[in-house]
Structure 1
Amino acid sequence: MHSKVQSPEAVAAAIKDGAVIAVASSGGGLLEPDDIFAAIEARFLTTGHPRDLTLVHALGFGDRGRRGANRFAHEGMVRRVIGGHWTWSKPMQDLARANKIEAYSLPGGVISLLLRESGAGRPGLITRTGLDTFVDPRRQGGKVNAAASEDIVELIEIGGETFLRYLPLKIDVALLKGTYADTLGNLSLREEPADLDTYAAALAAHNNGGLVAVQVRACVQSGSLTSREVAVPGIFVDHIVVSPQQEQTYRGGYDPALAGLLRTTALPASDEASEGVKRVLALRAAEELREGATVNFGFGASAGVAAIISERGTQSSYWTTIEQGIHGGAMLIGNLFGMAVNPLAIMAATQQFDFYHGGGLDIAFLGMAECDRHGNVNVSHLGGDFIGPGGFIDITQNARKVVFCGTFDTKGSRLAIRGGGIRVEAPGQVRKFVHDVGAVTFSGQQALERGQEVVYVTERAVFQLGANGVELIEVADGIDIRSDILERMDFAPVVRNPARMNAEYFGT
């Protein structure tokens, strides 16, 4: 048997023009085989090949600079991108905005599960997840720009019920990262912080007759990995790139506590609920927690709830999860979101999304960029840029209760927090409560049909979704309902007898 160990340059040379490439990576450098990416980029910049690639990724990856998806963000190198999250590569966003690539976005979990379904030879992914959002073909069908003209999602009926069918993918290349591979190609993720959709991507490429290349820190002798350590069997793996200096994340080095191999008392610090408006939002949102609940925390303002749990030392009262496949532990935030110190369990992202899609979440805490009169929320299309939903749609559409967290308005607002309340010194220039959201990332109508409980938490008011629309249910002391809330919204919420927000949220 010939050696599977190859240079990054050899892997790059093996990728043909027009190939469909699946990447199983996430933000912060999580499972990012950047030496392979760099070799592909260098070959393109030198020779113009490979070109016209299709890039498929469930979660965003990159550093907003040079690494990750940025390696592919060259005109002519990529023809199409089907991505769950785009924010880590502004150059790729720029190509999409200029219609120089065909830009699509689907829910992150849908892409992970679609890779698995495609590899298994099934007719795509059939699910309710995404109905009435921007990925529904009755809206945008996941198309992000004018260059994206091909339909990749269709509406179907089964037993009188409406579903979405995400069409199967033909993956030519899977680019993966692990800690070790043995000489037979067996891949271990033992010291990595997550598994993501590594197996699903390998399955999709291998069963389509494609190429699977893995980047690892070391290649070891066959038989030296225990069976339970192997995440992808060697039969799937064609090429092994050994990168002795590779790092676990952009933070550098390898931390065994992120892989669950060592428990530590050195937990990550968080300023997501330290003071000011962030603390008000986190404290009020945390009131929606219920002991014993299985919960998910999203990126951004909602991560403050996790900080409050840590501050109170009540981690054992809830079962926490994030979409990258992590259960329990102390979450990292910011650019390293998607990992945890001392995780209780690390599952494949496909398994996590199966859990979410099936209704396993009791409560989800997510951010909120826009909310409209129907209770719809937009977090994916902001200020002319496409951000993408990541796991947002998979999570919010299937949790029993959803708590959206965000400031009431933005850009230039000045707020004074004192005396058990809050005063608006200057309103924000950008309204978040609009007549119609720019794009539907969460469907209020679907929530009502599914019987979900939906709460919208801001620093000055709390709203709830009901049969008659969005209702104002709480107001902070110091806030004038008419001038500070109603006149700052593009629609009129239901107002009956709103309660006062707890003064303790405001530092008294």
Structure 2
Amino acid sequence: MIFLINKIISVKEAAEKVQDGMTIMVGGFLANGTPENLIDAIVKNNVKNLTLICNDTGFPDKGVGKMVVNKQFKKIIASHVGTNPETANQMNSGETEVVLTPQGTLAEKVRCGGNGLGGFYTPTGIGTEAEIGKEKKVIDGQEYIFELPLKADVALLKASVVDKKGNMVFAKTTKNFNPLMATAAKVVIVEADKIVEVGEIDQDRVMCSGIFVDYIVGGDK
């Protein structure tokens, strides 16, 4: 007999997994593929001094931008913040530390974190502010920057269809950073548009394995 661990919890219960001072990863690209219900609940909980790892900070009224407006982050690591003026305001005032990271570098840093790697060398950023304070090395005549991995306490993801084991299917471009971040956090919570029984998702359609998922919330909970 196979016993299935119940991973389904309420949005309220899931939001309480995020505590003051934690580092969180949030999936999405300009708020597409972002767990909006989880974000709303975390805004309501008003946890503070968080470190955010994400592709971008969304918009003031959408995605993680709502948490930025609520001043919940002490540090943000992202590749783009231009669509949320509040991020720039907090950065310029010194209220929030913002580390701008090239998008490909950001993705690889998360991948390294999820795969237990110590980092990687990249030529991206040579000759720019991105190289300040980082180890550099010349390999075959090319100068490289050494980038460290990124990991989080909690990853907040969004998927279109999730079975009760946590196997995920993403709709089109909503896939973005979600499966990558699933590997790089101690606790992984996925918000699903639809939750189905185990076996209802064809194995060839699974885009991210449920082995990485600790908790599942339905968008209507």
Is TM-score (shorter-chain normalized) higher than 0.5?
A: yes
Unaligned runs of 5+ in 1: 138-150, 246-508
Are 2:210 and 1:242 equivalent residues in the alignment?
Answer: no
Q: Distance in 1 between matches of 2:160 and 2:151?
A: 27
Q: Secondary structure at the match of 1:222?
A: coil
Match of 1:270 in 2: none
Contact 2:115 2:183 in 1 (8 A): yes
Aligned mate of 1:16, from 12, 16, 19 = 19
Residues matched between the structures, number: 218
For residues 426-475 of structure 1, the C-alpha deviation after alignment (integer angstroms, 9 at most, x for no partner) is: xxxxxxxxxxxxxxxxxxxxxxxxxxxxxxxxxxxxxxxxxxxxxxxxxx
Match of 2:197 in 1: 221
Q: Distance in 1 between matches of 2:75 and 2:57?
A: 16
1:244 and 1:75, CA in 2 relative to 1: closer, same or farther beyond 3 A? closer
Output the TM-score relative to the length of structure 1. 0.41
Residues 163-178 of structure 1: pairs in structure 2 closer than 5 A: 163-178=144-159
What amino acid is aligned across from residue 229 of structure 1 in structure 2? Answer: R
Q: Greater relative contact order (Cα 8 A, min sep 6): structure 1 or 2?
A: 2
Q: Distance in 2 between matches of 1:127 and 1:188?
A: 31
Match of 2:131 in 1: 136
Match of 2:63 in 1: 68
What amino acid is aligned across from residue 137 of structure 2 in structure 1? Answer: I
Match of 1:25 in 2: 28
What amino acid is aligned across from residue 52 of structure 2 in structure 1? Answer: L
Match of 2:83 in 1: 88
| Larger CA Rg, structure 1 vs 2 | 1
Q: Distance in 2 between matches of 1:240 and 1:75?
A: 25
Aligned mate of 1:188, from 151, 165, 169 = 169
Unaligned runs of 5+ in 2: none
1:100 Cα shift? 0.6
Q: Distance in 2 between matches of 1:204 and 1:136?
A: 24
Are 2:68 and 1:52 equivalent residues in the alignment?
Answer: no
Q: Distance in 2 between matches of 1:125 and 1:35?
A: 35
1:61 and 1:231, CA in 2 relative to 1: closer, same or farther beyond 3 A? farther
Contact 2:29 2:177 in 1 (8 A): no
1:169 Cα shift? 1.6
- What is the RMSD of the two structures over their aligned residues, measured on CA atoms? 1.9
Q: Distance in 2 between matches of 1:109 and 1:116?
A: 11
Contact 1:178 1:187 in 2 (8 A): yes
Q: Distance in 1 between matches of 2:141 and 2:213?
A: 42
1:214 Cα shift? 0.8
Residues 200-349 of structure 1: pairs in structure 2 closer than 5 A: 200-205=180-185, 210-244=186-220
What amino acid is aligned across from residue 58 of structure 2 in structure 1? Answer: G
Q: Secondary structure at the match of 1:112?
A: helix
What amino acid is aligned across from residue 102 of structure 1 in structure 2? Answer: E
Output the TM-score relative to the length of structure 2. 0.91
Identity of aligned residues (%): 27
Q: Distance in 2 between matches of 1:122 and 1:16?
A: 27
1:53 Cα shift? 0.8
